[in-house]
Amino acid sequence: EISNPAVPGTLLGFLNIDTRKVVLVSPSLPKMGVETDLPADFQIASLAGEGTRAGTSEVAGEPCTLWQVEKAAQLAGPTTACITEDGIVLRTVVEIQGKPHLTFEVVSLTRGPQDPDLFRLPPGTRTLKMPNGGGLLPKPGTGPALAP
């Protein structure tokens, strides 16, 4: 689920990290989707790099280890990710212009077998290819910084 103040309603994103493509659909516009390349700012979805343990936390009721990743090529600045023991990224905070910005956070997590249809566009959905997301994806860090 993606929220963008410039776009009314909610967007749902179907993200393929391997192809670096995302299809956005809106419940208010059934059977219509926008396909775009995943912008570089959204590398947070596939966080990779060297990191050091920085403590523990909890997100959505799940314990996780905080990992500090120094500025990687694809990120704006130092990044702290909260990752479960089995590798699920629950929260990502990126330092942008010296201030921490929450760029990704899981609000709920259900473990167990998942229906493959959850990862497919609804039948009959037509997609429009749009470069750079057409402004539908909010740029990470454009919201308010986290309180100290």
pTM: 0.66
Does the residue 50 lie in any domain?
A: yes
Asked if residue 43 belongs to a domain, the reply is yes
Q: Provide the sign of the torsion angle of the four alpha carbons 73, 74, 79, 83, taken in this order.
A: negative
Q: Is residue 116 part of a domain?
A: yes
* 71 part of a folded domain: yes
At residue 109, does pLDDT exceed 80? yes
Q: Is residue 3 part of a domain?
A: no
In a domain, residue 1? The reply is no
Mean pLDDT of 7-27: 78
Q: What is the pLDDT of residue 145?
A: 53
41 or 20, which is more confident: 20
Q: 118 or 143, which is more confident?
A: 118
Q: Count of domains in the chain?
A: 1
Distance CA 14, CA 119 (A): 7
Domain boundaries, position 65? 12-135
Is 99 within the bounds of a domain? Answer: yes
Q: What is the DSSP letter of 45?
A: G
Do the strands 79-83 and 32-37 form a parallel or antiparallel pair, or are they unpaired? unpaired
Per-residue pLDDT, averaged over 78-101, amounts to 88
β-pairing, 32-37 with 126-129? parallel
> Does 2 fall in a domain?
no
Span of 16-20, 39-43, 68-72, 112-116 with lowest mean pLDDT: 39-43
Contact between 61 and 75 under an 8 Å Cβ cutoff? The reply is: no
Better-scored residue on pLDDT, 110 or 148: 110
pLDDT > 90: what percent of the chain? Answer: 21
CA distance 141 to 148: 15
Q: Which two tokens stand for residue 97?
A: 């212009």
* CA–CA distance, 72 with 66 (Å, rounded to integer): 17
**Phi/psi zone of residue 141: left (φ > 0), alpha (ψ -120 to 50 degrees), beta?**
left
